[in-house]
Amino acid sequence: MGRSPCCEKEHTNKGAWTKEEDERLINYIKAHGEGCWRSLPKAAGLLRCGKSCRLRWINYLRPDLKRGNFSDEEDELIINLHSLLGNKWSLIAARLPGRTDNEIKNYWNTHIKRKLFIRGIDPQTHRPLKSTTTTTSSSTTTTITNSTTNKNTKLDTKRSTDFQLEEQNYSFLQVQPEFTMSNMTKTENNSRIIKVGGSSDSAEDSNSSSGVTTELEVYPDHKLVNLELSIGLPCQSLVSSINNLKQAKQQEQEEVVTHQLFETSTTPTSSAPVSVHKAACLCYKLGFKNSQACSSCNAMEKTVTADNLHRFYRPLDA
């Protein structure tokens, strides 16, 4: 009993492909294109399972494949995409022209995992390995405990590197002079809380502010990732929204403004409709077009921009 096999296994070859088999497959697809994989082996004169043919073509024979080592830029892109998408290798591969999901998966398991461990980052969660973060009003200290090594000097260096990376991720905040990494704390969902306004430990600062403290949740700026995210908050919008928030607070909280920031755009576009009062569906992170949007998107408010992407917004009171 059990599952019916995808093809007759007793009459199919398995294991490594021969040059002759490769040539047959290439010639057939060149002549007829990619079609029904189940019937392809017979038509091409191959004693292979259709799935095996598909895999061989997609992962190895396709002419547009990029062979060779991954560049540092590709490394960082994979890391950032993985932090957003998880083990969705096909989605990650779709963002790296010429690379296959299988190749990226293998590369992740053999190279990048190790690379992240060396940096003291958990490859699955993209958080520091067994780290504890202590935030005070004047400084942030991070201690990384790595059970596989006791080389403290290396860890100190790495801590510093991680802190620099952290700063880089939030560089978009630095346009606002009062922001420093020291008034930022981490949250459970990997976002950060920034205290805006209010008193600081310096008397000078406290005099210059209204004394009202507001906590704002923000998400990292994955500057190496260009997901062509068509929605989100450009840096200036974030800053101006914070200023607005402070003003509102100073006016004795006449008005309550809720900022729900789902994501930040790495490539702010003036054409993109941006509002901090609206939430956006995740499927638009991936640049889906109208017909590909999920059903909930289709029920939302919609605009079409110059790049012919449909943007969907769900009013907060919906």
Binding stretches for DNA (CB under 7 A): 3-4, 6, 13-17, 35-38, 49-52, 54-56, 59-60, 87-91, 101-103, 105-107, 109-111
134 touches 141 (CB < 8 A): yes
Strand arrangement of the beta sheet that strand 278-279 belongs to? 278-279, 310-315, 301-304
Nearer to DNA, 55 or 224 (CB): 55
Cβ 130 to DNA shortest distance, Å:
22
Burial of 15 from C-beta contacts in 10 A (0-12 / 13-18 / 19+): exposed
* Measured distance CA(171)–CA(155) in Å, rounded: 24
E strand or H helix that includes residue 279: strand 278-279
List of long-range contacts for 296-301, beta carbons under 8 Å, 24+ apart: none
Nearer to DNA, 60 or 163 (CB): 60
Cβ 30 to DNA shortest distance, Å:
17
Cβ 40 to DNA shortest distance, Å:
7
Phi, psi of 314 (to 5 degrees): -110, 115
Cβ 80 to DNA shortest distance, Å:
16
Nearer to DNA, 103 or 162 (CB): 103
Cβ 26 to DNA shortest distance, Å:
13
* Measured distance CA(181)–CA(139) in Å, rounded: 8
Nearer to DNA, 5 or 211 (CB): 5
Nearer to DNA, 257 or 294 (CB): 294
267 touches 227 (CB < 8 A): no
Grouping H, G, I as helix, E, B as strand and the rest as coil, residue 142 is strand
* Measured distance CA(218)–CA(222) in Å, rounded: 12
- DSSP β-bridge partners for residue 134: 141
Nearer to DNA, 154 or 277 (CB): 154
Cβ 191 to DNA shortest distance, Å:
24
* Measured distance CA(144)–CA(155) in Å, rounded: 7
Nearer to DNA, 102 or 142 (CB): 102
192: closest CA among 201, 200, 183? 183
Cβ 294 to DNA shortest distance, Å:
10
